[in-house]
């Protein structure tokens, strides 16, 4: 049996939906908060990566390919 590989965000969404289906309000609130935090972390990481790339472009470490 193949195991399903989920990202942290996909896993949190899945668990939140499962808990909602089971009527577990406190667990739904927990997973909703967890999901908010995971999404915030993803945005922060993407922003940091973009900043590093921009800096590399500006100081010449990344160059456009020449024909």
pLDDT along the chain (67 residues), means of 10: 82 96 95 96 91 83 63
Task: Give the pLDDT score at 64.
Answer: 65
Task: Give the pLDDT score at 58.
Answer: 82
Opening angle at CA 58, ends 52 and 63, nearest 5: 95
Task: Give the pLDDT score at 1.
Answer: 57
Task: Give the pLDDT score at 57.
Answer: 82
Q: What is the CA radius of gyration of the chain?
A: 19
The total number of residues written for the chain in this structure: 67
């Amino acid at each position: 049996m193949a195991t399903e590989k989920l990202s942290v965000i996909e896993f949190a969404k899945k668990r939140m939906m499962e808990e909602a289906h089971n009527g577990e309000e406190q667990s739904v609130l927990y997973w909703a908060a967890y999901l908010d935090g995971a999404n915030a972390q993803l945005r922060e990481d993407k922003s940091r990566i973009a900043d590093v790339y921009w800096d590399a472009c500006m100081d010449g470490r990344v160059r456009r390919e020449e024909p």
